Amino acid sequence: MTRKYFGTDGIRGLVGEFPIVPEFAMKLGWAAGKVLAASGQPSVVIGKDTRLSGYLLESALQSGLSAAGVDVRLLGPMPTPAVAHLARAFHASAGIVISASHNPYYDNGIKFFSSLGKKLPDDIELQIEDWLEKPMIIDKPDALGKTLRQEDARGRYIEFCKASFPYHLSLKGLKIVVDCAHGATYQVGPAVFRELGAKVITVACEPNGMNINDECGSTHPQALQAAVLINKADLGIAFDGDGDRIVMVDHTGSVVDGDEIIVMIARARQQDNPNLQGVVGTLMSNMGMEVALRDMGLDFVRAKVGDRYVMAELGKRGWTLGGESSGHIVCLDKTTTGDAIIAALQVLTAVVQSGQSLHELRQGMTKFPQQLINVKIAQKSDPMLNEEIAAAVAQAERELGARGRVLLRASGTEPLIRVMVEGEHQQQISRICQDLADQVRKALG
């Protein structure tokens, strides 16, 4: 069945435009509550990032849930993965996050976690959408849900994160710059690293409701790079607005992306666990990541772009490590979903145990040059169904051999074909990418 409201990462849009309006949020809370009521005595935890509109949506959701007889624990500003963890810790029926992740402040969204701290199953989302089409009927006054504010939520999550770092190790002696994107990690992120012994310098940790992700965080690491160099720090860590993505910066000011972080974690895992089988990346993962992992004797599988697809592939194979170039890293041996703070702690574990700097550890992967050209087309279509384009791609793949690849991907939101070529030699891939883009433009433009 086709979803009417839920996308790949919950429901998201511009605040004030349907469906990100209080009327819909209240109805959504009620509909979700009706579905959860099948579990007996339903309860949920609600967390949010630092957007001003979070207050609006939180109140509306709370009202709808109460009308359906659901008890609510309000967590306040908390990272998305914290809500997933606390849903499990409190044995709640679900966790709800009010956030638009790395989007600007004028966007917002609502997404759900199951009682197991994982993305809500498709069938549950469809049931919620079914209830959204029904008239909203409020329970009797004695059956309404109660609400309380969970004052110790922050401390609970901090301790959970610290538990993913080996107890016998310490971050003493490390100077770390932490960029929280004026978002949901602004309190818990710096606290975790300080409590483990690091000297922490903060960047973008003063949210005002409208500066989330504004020229800061994992999508804009320039401020972090400058702060690392100015403060002569050992490394820097940048989160996105809701705390499920990470990029890092080494002491030279160079950005370390999600692919490199995954390889470093995999190498450390392999030393501790010889039975580690493989890693899941995406169609956009750098070829250098694939080569590095295969040189380590690990299998590598590409999923479609999106953490939902990475999680599905990990579950199918029984593996524990995967993620995206953008910095959404999943360590299923530590938690149930992508968690930027926990991913950072896994890299810091490798730094402390090896005695090497982040700059030295990243040398285990050599990124392949990558060229990307967006080609506008007349209407959305699969480029590989065109015989001339398919033949051109096949010829390009033969020329690149096993040390390169070609990806033609239709945009999901606009009439574009993204032509991407990777290989060992920049001049070669630039030529091939331009030739393929010209072919696509000629056939479909």
Q: pLDDT tens across 403-442, in order?
A: 899 999 887 667 889 999 999 999 999 999 999 999 999 9
- Cα atoms found within 13 Å of the Cα of residue 58, Cβ hemisphere only: 24
Q: Is pLDDT above 90 for 303? A: yes
Instruction: Summarize pLDDT for 17-39 with one digit per residue, the tens.
Output: 999 999 999 999 999 999 998 87
Strand 246-250 relative to strand 199-203, pairing? unpaired
For the chain, give every domain's residue range.
Answer: 11-151, 157-254, 258-364, 370-444
**CATH architecture type of domain 258-364:** 3-Layer(aba) Sandwich (3.40)
pLDDT at 406: 95
Task: Check: CB of residue 276 under 8 Å from CB of residue 314.
Answer: no
pLDDT at 272: 80
Where does the pLDDT of residue 162 fall: very low under 50, low under 70, confident under 90, or very high at 90 and above?
A: very high
Mapping DSSP to helix (H, G, I), strand (E, B) and coil, where does residue 108 land?
A: strand
Average pLDDT over residues 194-200: 98
Top-confidence residue, 380 or 407: 407
In 3D space, the residue among 392, 395, 370 whose CA is nearest the CA of residue 443 turns out to be 392
Gap between the Cα atoms of 248 and 257, Å rounded: 7
| Topology adopted by domain 11-151 | Alpha-D-Glucose-1,6-Bisphosphate; Chain A, domain 3 (3.40.120)
pLDDT at 410: 84
pLDDT at 412: 67
Mapping DSSP to helix (H, G, I), strand (E, B) and coil, where does residue 309 land?
A: helix
- Which parts of 198-328 are beta strand (E)? 199-203, 235-239, 246-250, 255-256, 278-282, 299-303, 321-323
pLDDT at 413: 65
Where does the pLDDT of residue 146 fall: very low under 50, low under 70, confident under 90, or very high at 90 and above?
A: very high
Q: What residues are labeled active site?
A: 101
In 3D space, the residue among 313, 283, 326, 294 whose CA is nearest the CA of residue 412 turns out to be 283
pLDDT at 189: 98
Candidate from 188-192, 261-265, 271-275 with smallest mean pLDDT: 271-275
Gap between the Cα atoms of 283 and 269, Å rounded: 23
For 32, the token pair is 């979700």
CATH fold match for the domains 11-151 and 157-254? yes
Distances (CA, A) of 297 to 265, 272, 363: 15, 15, 17
Gap between the Cα atoms of 262 and 29, Å rounded: 36
pLDDT at 306: 87
Phi–psi pair at 19, nearest 5 degrees: -95, 5
Average pLDDT over residues 315-330: 96
Distances (CA, A) of 21 to 18, 60, 109, 207, 381: 6, 9, 10, 23, 33
Average pLDDT over residues 143-152: 96
Gap between the Cα atoms of 152 and 284, Å rounded: 39
Gap between the Cα atoms of 390 and 323, Å rounded: 29
Task: Check: CB of residue 336 under 8 Å from CB of residue 116.
Answer: yes
pLDDT at 313: 96
| Topology adopted by domain 370-444 | TATA-Binding Protein (3.30.310)
**Element holding 46 (H helix, E strand):** strand 43-48
Q: Is pLDDT above 80 for 275? A: no
Task: Check: CB of residue 444 under 8 Å from CB of residue 378.
Answer: yes
Average pLDDT over residues 176-182: 98
pLDDT at 9: 85
Gap between the Cα atoms of 74 and 77, Å rounded: 9
For 157, the token pair is 């999550």
Gap between the Cα atoms of 223 and 236, Å rounded: 10
For 346, the token pair is 């896994």
Candidate from 62-66, 325-329, 399-403 with smallest mean pLDDT: 399-403
Q: Percentage of the chain with pLDDT > 70?
A: 99
Instruction: Give me the amino acid identity at 319.
Output: W
pLDDT at 31: 97
For 359, the token pair is 């700059």
Q: Is pLDDT above 60 for 1? A: no
Strand 329-331 relative to strand 321-323, pairing? antiparallel
Q: What is the CA radius of gyration of the chain?
A: 23
H and E: helices and strands count for the chain: 14, 18
Residues 6+ apart with CB under 8 A from 320: 276, 314, 331, 332, 333
> What's the CATH superfamily of 157-254?
Alpha-D-Glucose-1,6-Bisphosphate, subunit A, domain 3 (3.40.120.10)
Average pLDDT over residues 2-25: 93
Instruction: Summarize pLDDT for 46-77 with one digit per residue, the tens.
Output: 999 999 999 999 999 999 999 999 999 999 99
- Which parts of 150-254 are beta strand (E)? 175-179, 199-203, 235-239, 246-250
Average pLDDT over residues 159-177: 98
Q: Which residue has the tokens 């949920």?
A: 44
In 3D space, the residue among 417, 79, 116 whose CA is nearest the CA of residue 217 turns out to be 79
Q: Which residue has the tokens 């950005």?
A: 255
Task: Check: CB of residue 91 under 8 Å from CB of residue 115.
Answer: yes
**Element holding 419 (H helix, E strand):** strand 416-422
Q: Whole-model pTM? A: 0.93
Average pLDDT over residues 152-179: 98
User: Exposed, middle or buried: residue 373 (CB in 10 Å: 0-12, 13-18, 19+)?
Assistant: middle
Q: Is pLDDT above 80 for 242? A: yes
Top-confidence residue, 379 or 111: 111
pLDDT at 125: 94
